[in-house]
Structure formats: structure tokens, C-alpha cells
Structure 1
């Protein structure tokens, strides 16, 4: 657990991101992005995952980053320009509403530590239905949420979702969990498209 404590210490408080709470390489190994992929970061916050993904998918790929905060969206767009990332589209969007992304256009949907937020959790069925809509055949939805093993960081225990709860939410919209990964403070669940209600 010392490794996770060190990462926690390096995670800047007040920045809406879980990127520094675990080893980002572990997360991106699970995402398995390749050149040409389209990546959707739902509730991107400051956009650390989006910027990392943009490098992996390359000029032939595309990253869509969505967040409801105009300030965060503007800041991410500026950061992308500063570092020369041109394959990233950042959009102000309410993720509890229809997503501004075309049908069957995304290879990997990524939802990191936002599903537990009460306003998002209340609309989980709508969100997972939208993820299903935008994913290509064989696409993947990857969810990261806060574990209840260590409550020294993150949301109150009452707000946290168990792995089983997340899997049940996704299953109602036709996703099947294929893998769970312990990230220390968080956990990751890889979801593949199956049949609705499966």
C-alpha cells in the first residue's frame, strides 16, 4: 500500500482528476488504445486521461473529452494547444443528457470517478444507454470508481459504488463485465457490449 500512498500524496487536491491516484500506465494497459482509435472521456475534468490518450491514438485517432464545466473545458483546450495536441476535441456537455457524439463512432468509452456523483448516478441508465449508442461493435466501456478499502481520500463512503453495483447498472443497458482491476484507492471494470438486460 506504500506505493498507493505515494501516488495519493502526489495527487493534487482540488483538481477534478483521479489520474494521480494510481499508476496511469496500469490504467492505459487496460484501455489497450492503439493508433487510429477513437476515445471518449466522459466527465473529463482537467483532462489528464484525455491528453495521455491523445498521444496513444496518434494523428489517425481522435479523443473526445466532455465536461459540464466551461472553465475546465477551456483550460483543457488551452493545455492541448500548448503541448501541440491536435486530435482532441473538448466539449461542454451534461453527461446525464444525450452525448454530443455520433452513433457507433467510439472504440473506448472511459468514465473515471464520476458515476458515484448523485446527479450522474440518478441518470446511470441514460448514461450507459448513451455509451452503448456511441460505441462501435466490439467497443469497450471502462469504468473507474472509488474503492471502499481506504477512505482517507475521495468521496464519503455512503456515496461510493461497489463493483457489483456498477456492473448491475451497466448490465441493464447490455454490457457484460469482462475484468475487474484493483487500482488501490480505486477499481477499474472493463465492460463489453452484450445484449440489453443481459
Structure 2
């Protein structure tokens, strides 16, 4: 699965430049004490950064389909001293192994374009959000570039918004973040 293939294959400095996590989280509005699900967390680039922001009262629920990635996240969390804030979950296929109304925020970074059934996955994301919960999406822009997924796997901002509306999300905003990515934020409907 190429979900994170690209982000795994270039070095951390390049990734930090492309995804300055602090800037992204301040744009989305991550706050202390929040519970955040990082869906398709990979080796935990965003989980590790978010754990510092949510603080000791907050919690990161990191979900991935590959146990090696989860292990490297656990190891990194130990090293940075945030292991008690990060819970990891191994997912089977396109399911989300979290209970109903579990988190304030669900982050889906560079994952939706990979899914066979993104609509169903987004509906499942609704389920895990608490009242007033939010979905945060980071996705590739739909234009030719030398990296990332094939152009035909990408969607335009309008296409993403339509999909999110179909999945029941409300108050959707989207913005171009940089040359390669867009940010989308939406409220759950519960």
C-alpha cells in the first residue's frame, strides 16, 4: 500500500518543510487537552507533534494498518517522553478500530486518496467523533508534480468537499496550504 510510501522515502527535513506540523496544527486549531485520532498515522510524524500540543490531559489515538509503523511510533514516543499520551491501534483494512464518540478531532493526512471506499471511511470517521467534533484532512493538490500519487488518484478541492458533504460533514472549509497540499476542515454532524 503506497499510503505513506512517499513520506517514508524522503528525509525528515524535507518532510518538515512540506508539512510544518506546528503551522498545520495552528491553522486547524489543535488545543491542549484534546483527543485526536491520527488515522493512517504511518510512523507517527503528526501524532508525535500533536502529543506535545495536547499535553498531559490530551490523548492521541494513532491508527495504522502496519505494525512496523506503529512500533516505530511507539519507540519515538518513548524517546520524546510522550508515550503515555499516545495510544496505538492496528487497523484491519479500511476500518477504524475506535469506539463511538471517542475523539474531538480526526486527522486524515495523505490517506483518503488511497482508500477503495473513502465515502464509507468518512462515514466511519463521523462515528468516532464526539459532539462538535472535527475532521481535519491533508491531501495532495490535483495538479501534475514530480512526487506523490498519480494525478488520476487525486481529487480537486470541490471533489473533496462534495465527498465530505455526502458523508454528512458540515461547515467545510478548504484552503491551499502550499505548492503540493490542501487542508480541509469540517464539523461532524452529530
TM-score category, normalised to shorter length: 0.7 to 0.9
The counterpart of 1:192, out of the listed 175, 187, 190, is 187
Residue matched to 1:71: 68
Aligned to 1:181: 175
Q: Secondary structure at the match of 2:113?
A: coil
Give the aligned CA root-mean-square deviation in angstroms. 2.2
Matched, 1:43 2:37: no
- Structure 1 residues 113 and 177: alpha-carbon distance in aligned structure 2, compared to 1, 3 A threshold: farther
Note the alpha carbon deviations across 1:44-77, whole angstroms, 9 max, x for none.
1111100111111111110001110111011111
CA–CA separation in structure 1 for the residues paired with 2:88 and 2:34: 17
Between the two proteins, the alignment pairs up a number of residues equal to 181
Residue matched to 1:84: 81
Instruction: Tell me: CA distance 1:12–1:135, structure 2 relative to 1, closer, same or farther (3 Å).
Output: closer
Match of 1:108 among 95, 98, 105: 105
Query: Is 1:19–1:49's contact at 8 Å kept on the other side of the alignment?
Result: no
Aligned mate of 1:55, from 52, 57, 70: 52
Instruction: Assess if the C-alpha contact under 8 Å between 1:18 and 1:112 holds in 2.
Output: no
Once superposed, which parts of structure 1, at least 4 consecutive aligned residues long, lie more than 3 Å away?
A: 14-20
Looking at structure 2, the residues matched to 92 and 187 of structure 1 have their Cα atoms a distance apart, in angstroms, of: 27
Alignment gaps of 5+ in structure 1: 1-10
Indicate how the Cα distance of structure 1 residues 74 and 110 shifts in structure 2: closer, same or farther if over 3 A, else same.
same
Which residue of structure 2 lines up, in the alignment, with residue 28 of structure 1?
25
Cα 1:22–1:39 shift into 2, 3 Å? same
Q: Which runs of 5+ in 2 are unaligned?
A: 1-6
Q: Partner residue of 1:94? A: 92
Residue 161 of structure 2 contacts residue 172 of structure 2 at CA under 8 Å; is this kept in 1? no
- 1:12 to 1:42, Cα distance in 2 relative to 1, 3 A: closer
Q: Secondary structure at the match of 2:62?
A: strand
Tell whether 2:104 aligns with 1:130. no
